């Protein structure tokens, strides 16, 4: 990560040294100017943990499975996102309003063929197939609104700014099995046949007050169940303050490149209630029942410090 930061800085400042001797400034933003740009944060790439979409060459099954195996909560620290869209409006020659929007996400419909249980009961040699479907929905959005102050330095401008930041991240998975649960199937020990055994859950002794279908000594207990929906990650909200400082170089008329150090010194994080819904056959009610396996009633955190920093590389065009 340190090498990435050093290389980024060297490339940027090498460009400054090559072109910084310009005697004539081609463009200086004035009050009323509006700019659009894109930003990139190599620090976010270096520190990336959770992925909100499959990468190039990833196995879709592994991507979905990784989230299905984690009945945990997810916290997000909304520092500068990996990439974002940035807009600025000059209130005066030296002050701008700005907004940054970064987002990423995916909705993966992962499908696998499985044996058709109904056909197998009629013909033990049947090759009939049905389809299991897992839907993995993950999203992340970061939005910042603030002000930026400028100091003209010829072809360059020194900038410092502050923004209020809102970030959200998380999601859920759901399952749609080709073989529905039935009384006949459960009696024969043929619970929904699936190629996704990591989603299988066997009920174990638990606090009867948590759920009547989980307690081993409960007459309503369900011996085996399968995941229908998981909201383990939930959608985590973060609200904080972002600070930055850097240089902007006008390399062409109305075109600039920028390099800034960013920091999110404080942020409040709020995790909603998280849960998983399972489905199984109850011998007591003699029908398929659903029950809610609670993971957390919700959590929160107040994060602070100077170690949550990033780098913003930007390319801007002034209209």
For a pLDDT cut of 70, what percent of the chain falls above it?
Answer: 71
Q: Residue 205: its pLDDT value, please?
A: 36
Per-residue pLDDT, averaged over 130-138, amounts to 86
Tell me the whole-structure pTM to 2 decimals.
Answer: 0.75
3-state SS, residue 67: helix
CATH code linked to domain 2-318: 2.40.160.20
Q: Residue 110: its pLDDT value, please?
A: 86
Q: Residue 275: its pLDDT value, please?
A: 84
Per-residue pLDDT, averaged over 184-205, amounts to 50
* More confident site: 5 or 310: 310
Of the candidate ranges 26-40, 116-130, 224-238, the one whose mean pLDDT is the lowest = 224-238
- 207 burial (CB, 10 Å; 0-12 / 13-18 / 19+) is exposed
Residue 57 DSSP code: T
Per-residue pLDDT, averaged over 25-51, amounts to 80
Cα(292)–Cα(189) distance, rounded to whole angstroms? 23
206 confidence band (pLDDT: 50, 70, 90): very low
294, pLDDT greater than 60:
yes
* More confident site: 165 or 43: 165
265 confidence band (pLDDT: 50, 70, 90): very high
* More confident site: 99 or 223: 99
210, pLDDT greater than 70:
no
Cα(243)–Cα(263) distance, rounded to whole angstroms? 5
For a pLDDT cut of 90, what percent of the chain falls above it?
Answer: 24
How far from chain centre, in Å, is Cα 311?
20
3-state SS, residue 164: strand
Q: Where are the domains of the chain?
A: 2-318
Taking only the tens place, the pLDDT of each residue in 48-62 is 556 777 777 777 777
Where do the DSSP E strands lie in the chain? 34-40, 83-90, 95-115, 129-153, 156-176, 200-202, 224-252, 255-271, 274-282, 287-296, 299-304, 309-318
Q: Residue 75: its pLDDT value, please?
A: 65
103, pLDDT greater than 60:
yes
10, pLDDT greater than 90:
no
3-state SS, residue 63: helix
Cα(279)–Cα(34) distance, rounded to whole angstroms? 55
Tokens of 293: 């396996």
Of the candidate ranges 24-38, 71-85, 154-168, the one whose mean pLDDT is the lowest = 71-85
- Taking only Cα atoms into account, the Rg of the chain, rounded to an integer number of angstroms, comes to 27
86, β-bridge pairs: 37, 100
């Amino acid at each position: 990560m340190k090498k990435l930061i050093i290389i980024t800085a060297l490339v940027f400042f090498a460009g400054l040294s090559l072109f910084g001797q310009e005697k004539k400034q081609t463009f200086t933003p004035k009050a009323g100017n509006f700019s659009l740009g894109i930003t990139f944060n190599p620090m976010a790439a270096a520190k990336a943990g959770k992925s909100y979409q499959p990468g190039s060459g990833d196995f879709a099954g592994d991507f979905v499975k990784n989230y299905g195996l984690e009945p945990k909560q997810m916290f997000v620290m909304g520092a500068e996102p990996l990439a974002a869209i940035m807009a600025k409006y000059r209130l005066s020659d030296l002050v701008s309003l700005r907004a940054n929007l970064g987002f990423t996400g995916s909705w993966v419909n992962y499908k696998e063929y499985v044996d058709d249980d109904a056909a197998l009961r009629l013909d033990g040699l049947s090759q009939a197939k049905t389809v299991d479907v897992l839907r993995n929905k993950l999203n992340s959005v970061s939005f910042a609104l603030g002000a930026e102050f400028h100091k003209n330095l010829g072809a360059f401008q020194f900038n410092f700014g502050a923004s209020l930041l809102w970030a959200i991240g998380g999601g859920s998975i759901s399952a749609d099995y080709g073989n529905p649960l039935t009384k006949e199937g459960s009696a024969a020990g043929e619970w929904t046949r699936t190629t996704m055994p990591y989603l299988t859950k066997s009920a174990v002794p638990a606090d009867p007050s948590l759920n009547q279908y989980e307690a081993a000594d409960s007459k309503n207990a369900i011996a085996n169940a399968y995941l229908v929906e998981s909201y383990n990650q939930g959608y985590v909200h973060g609200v904080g303050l972002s600070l930055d400082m850097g240089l902007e170089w006008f390399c062409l008329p109305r075109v600039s490149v920028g390099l800034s150090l960013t920091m999110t010194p404080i942020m409040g994080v709020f995790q909603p209630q998280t849960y998983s819904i399972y489905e199984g056959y109850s011998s007591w009610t003699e029908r398929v029942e659903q029950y809610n396996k609670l993971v957390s009633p919700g959590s929160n955190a107040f994060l602070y410090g100077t170690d949550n920093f990033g780098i913003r590389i930007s390319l801007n065009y002034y209209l």
